[in-house]
Chain A
Amino acid sequence: MDVGLFAQYVMNGLMLGMMYALVAVGFTLFFGVLNVINFSHGDVLTVGAFTGLATYLGLSAIGVSWAPAQVVIVLLVATTCMAGLGAVIARYLVLPLKAAPALNTLLLTLMLGTVLREAVRLFYPLGANPQRFPPLLPTTAYSFGNFTLRVDSVMLLLAGLAVIVGIHLVINKTKLGLAIRAVAQDEETAKTMGINFTLIVLVTFAIGSGLAAFAGILHGLYYSEINFAMGLLLGVIGFSSAIVGGLGNIYGAIIGGFLFAALQTIGVLAMPFASAYKDVFAFGVIILIMAWRPTGLISEKISERV
């Protein structure tokens, strides 16, 4: 295969992996502090992307047309709103079910996802149709043979990387991160050490949901299009990535995200005659990985208590 074309695939795969990793990190954060799966996460991403789009339209309406300002404001508004939404979900929907069986939380968040998705479809103007997402970043492109390097892709990749590094620093180097890790390790002990459990849970959900909004905007900017159903698949892929990496482990989630993107890319590259099957291939491999390592590649250390 041609090197340029190969590079194009790699670039695309990296971009996909970045989005998956951002979503997966959210899943793994939630699981860490509360041992729950928040299945509405993917749809929070959709709502985040639509909030970003609405903010852009609002900005254009009041005459702010300087692109850098637009990008910053769109990102700020979307992440803040979704952080708030995440905290509300945690406070009023997930925490009340803390003592219930895991299945109930799973179902509740799955249904919440449906509600969010349907709300976007029904209540956003023409929400059932795909919406064009404005190109807010410079679209200059450099060609190297078959490989076209777009400046905005590079910027998105770097921004995603910066966010992931930022999350890593927050979790590992700050007092907040220490508290999150403490709650994840042992809720009871963390409480006796004077950590405000509820607050930490809410903050963690806010951070995770903010990340989802960021991933949603990334998706919109990269593909120039968003639709109401995009969160479902992204959410499931993010969840699978988090699971494959091993729930509760941030690095596992990042590895899982890039692994899934790699699987899809390999699916296209290795089977050009059947590229339509790339998702079938990727999900099939995920099922196989689960059969091989039932608690993920980097498994959490647990012991069964009776």
Chain B
Amino acid sequence: MFAVLLPGIGSAVAVTVYVILLLAVESQAAIAGLLVAGVIAVLAAARFGGMARIGRSFAERENAMNLVIILAVLAVTGFFYEDHFILLLMATVIIYVIACLGLNLQFGYAGVLNFAGAAFFGVGCYTAAVLTKNTAMPHLLILVAGGVMAAVIGSLLILPVLRTRSHYSAVVTIAFALLFKIFLEVNDTLGGPQGLPVDGMNVLGWEFNDDIEIGEDFEIAFYVNYIVVGLIVLALAFTFVRRLERSWVGLNLDALRLDETAAACFGLNITRWKITAFTLGNFLTGVAGALYAMMLGFIAPTNFTFGDSLILVSIILLGGIGNPWGLVVATTILIILPEKLQVIQEYRFLLFGAMVILILLFRPEGLLPRPLRTYLPGWRPK
């Protein structure tokens, strides 16, 4: 029983130590060396069947492994408890994973194209900004409100998205992404190009934006608050997406993506499932946006460009379309790498672009391809 878990726990410990090392070292040469070592280790593990065993741990003991991952994130957080910059990075990764889970519902399961991810993220951000400044709504509810707002604004696009196919529906969301950013820039009520300030989160009188002081000189950076809340939201969203994927709803969405016409022939209501996936996806993205805005304390239209939407799509693709675990890996790489490897900071869009092109050409299924659907727990093809 325990033997199945061992490779998973072992890999989690190894990755935790590796991430801590990577975040802790400052010298560019050391970081580059660590990265090379990491790539070699992964390739070696894949070569000698280690990856397959780790995959089995995750597939068969999912609940235990989820717990291990959460513990690992908390361990890294604990290690850097007073380092603002690194904690901000970690919180950003967590929030982006939530947003990408939403996109994953749309792209990965239902096959609904959405090139306006950053726009719906932005809707969540601006909702949080307006609500924290102008109303006394409890801040946890504002998270939900951000999601609802994104879903509502997304519903404006439902009709054109439903009626169009492939390239034609791409233009609808691309047009919306551009429209949204231009609208923010010229709209004075929402701050114009300067953006808006956002209040920090406050739950039951607990100010999230104050450092936590324990005793005389033991201080914990305030980002830890957001990491904890982010982790809770992420755990909820992740469980939700996984359950959805495994249920008959997920099965319907898969059928829809693989062949719309055939799915319709088998009596699936295409309209209903497309609306479901699109709305739920936008909701998750909006929730992530609201949390992000409260953490940053300030938002501006430049955070929500078409380029940012493309980065979200690249994360989905890099991770392996339809695989939530792939998202986690891809987001971590795409957010942390350019921040740590300052040499490439300036060139990051160029390198991301080149990387996605290479992946599309040589490994179109992504880093962690989505495994086959298992209908019975523990069942494997003989």
Contact = CB atoms under 8 A, between A and B. Distances in A.
B166 A104 contact: no
Given A122-B350, A277-B183, A114 B310 contact: yes
B311 to A, nearest CB: 9
Contacts of B113: 103
A283 B364 contact: no
B168 A107 contact: no
25 contacts: A31-B167, A93-B357, A97-B361, A103-B113, A103-B166, A108-B357, A114-B349, A114-B353, A115-B354, A232-B306, A233-B178, A236-B174, A236-B175, A236-B306, A239-B171, A280-B179, A280-B183, A280-B186, A286-B175, A290-B164, A290-B171, A294-B165, A295-B165, A295-B168, A306-B259
Contact of A294 (B163, B170, B262): B163
Interface in A279-293: 279-280, 283-284, 286-288, 290-291
Nearest to A123: B350
Contacts of B20: none
A20 to B, nearest CB: 14
Given A97-B360, A102-B166, A107 B313 contact: yes
Given A96-B361, A122-B347, A291 B261 contact: no
A283 B170 contact: no
B217 interface: no
Contacts of B168: 243, 247, 290, 294-296
A40 B364 CA distance: 19
A112 interface: yes
Contacts of B175: 236, 240, 283, 286-287, 290
Interface string A93-106: 10011001011101
A161 B20 CA distance: 62
Secondary structure type dominating chain B contacts: helix
B167 A100 contact: no
B317 interface: yes
B50 to A, nearest CB: 29
B186 A276 contact: yes
B332 interface: no
Interface size class of A (residues with CB under 8 A): 35 or more
Q: Which 9 A-B pairs have the closest CB atoms?
A: A276-B186, A291-B160, A118-B350, A114-B353, A115-B353, A283-B179, A294-B163, A111-B353, A283-B175
B314 interface: yes
Interface size class of B (residues with CB under 8 A): 35 or more
Nearest to A299: B168
Nearest to A113: B353
B338 interface: no
Nearest to A37: B167
Given A277-B183, A290-B175, 14 more contacts: A108-B360, A111-B352, A113-B353, A115-B350, A233-B178, A236-B178, A240-B174, A243-B171, A247-B167, A279-B179, A290-B160, A291-B163, A294-B165, A295-B164
Contacts of A103: 107, 113, 166
Contacts of A287: 157, 160, 172, 175-176, 179
Contacts of A283: 175-176, 178-179, 182
A162 interface: no
A306 B262 contact: yes
A110 interface: yes
A100 B364 contact: yes
Contacts of A233: 178
B348 to A, nearest CB: 9
Interface string A164-181: 000000000000000000
Most buried by A among B166, B182, B314, B346: B182
B72 interface: no
A114 B354 CA distance: 9
Interface string A230-257: 0011001001100100010000000000
Interface of B: 107, 113, 157, 159-160, 163-168, 170-172, 174-176, 178-179, 182-183, 186, 259, 261-262, 265, 306-307, 310, 313-314, 317, 346-347, 349-350, 352-354, 356-357, 360-361, 364
B159 A291 contact: yes
A107 B171 contact: no
Contacts of B313: 107, 110
A239 to B, nearest CB: 6
A259 B357 CA distance: 33
A14 to B, nearest CB: 23
Given A107-B356, A122-B347, A287-B175, A93 B164 contact: no
B6 to A, nearest CB: 37
A37 B353 contact: no
Contacts of B157: 287
Contact of A119 (B170, B172, B350): B350
A163 to B, nearest CB: 25
A30 to B, nearest CB: 11
B170 A106 contact: yes
Contacts of A115: 350, 353-354, 357
Contacts of B352: 111, 114
Given A277-B183, A279-B178, A290-B163, A108 B350 contact: no
A304 interface: yes
Contacts of B354: 111, 115
Contacts of B317: 107
A31 B265 CA distance: 29
A237 to B, nearest CB: 9
A102 B317 CA distance: 13
Contacts of B171: 239-240, 243, 286, 290
Contacts of B261: 304, 306
Contacts of A111: 310, 314, 352-354, 356-357, 360
A110 B262 CA distance: 30
A151 B25 CA distance: 62
Nearest to B261: A306
Contacts of A102: 166-167
